[in-house]
Amino acid sequence: MKTFMQTKENVERVWYVIDATDIPLGRVASKAASVLRGKHKATYTPSVDCGDYVIIVNADKVKLTGNKLQDKMYYNHSGYPGGLRERNAKVMIESYPEEMMERAVKGMLPHGPLGRAMGKKLFVYRDANHKHEAQKPIELKVD
């Protein structure tokens, strides 16, 4: 019996929606990354983008455990001297919850062209409203 290898031409993609209300950030991110990679499918192939689309709603209601609101830092650098900007998780969840969720998920994807292609199938929204109702997304529970 030959081993099945998925190709990008015969990938069937499904849309999933994850509600992040009162669920830890890492659990939401790891579930989303797994679905974006396609690891939930029996036809998973590591070298092919065989994952599905993921919509994450209520990103501003995600839970952080412990002292992460004060201690967890996010860094950006402009490339110029003195251009380091640092923000803690409290500032990020109040002002930029979409970026915080995207960083968590994209950090769990492969770092390269394949991972960037997988990251383009991620859509994060601050509240419960999203513009993908036409795709009929399936609700995905996070354990």
Predicted local distance difference test score (pLDDT) of residue 4: 85
Report the domain count for the chain.
1
In a domain, 77, yes or no: no
Taking the C-alpha atoms of residue 121 and residue 107, their distance in angstroms, rounded to an integer, is: 14
How many residues does the structure list for the chain?
A: 143
Q: What does the pLDDT average to over 99-106?
A: 98
CATH number of 51's domain: 3.90.1180.10
CA torsion sign for 77, 117, 54, 51 is: negative
Confidence band, pLDDT 50/70/90 cuts, at residue 143: confident
According to the model, what pLDDT value does residue 1 have? 81
pLDDT in tens, 11-47: 999 999 999 999 999 999 999 999 999 999 999 999 9
Determine contact, residues 84/46, Cβ cutoff 8 Å: no
Mean pLDDT of the chain: 96
Q: By residue range, what is the domain housing residue 45?
A: 13-63+96-139
pTM value?
0.94
Tell me what pLDDT residue 26 has.
97
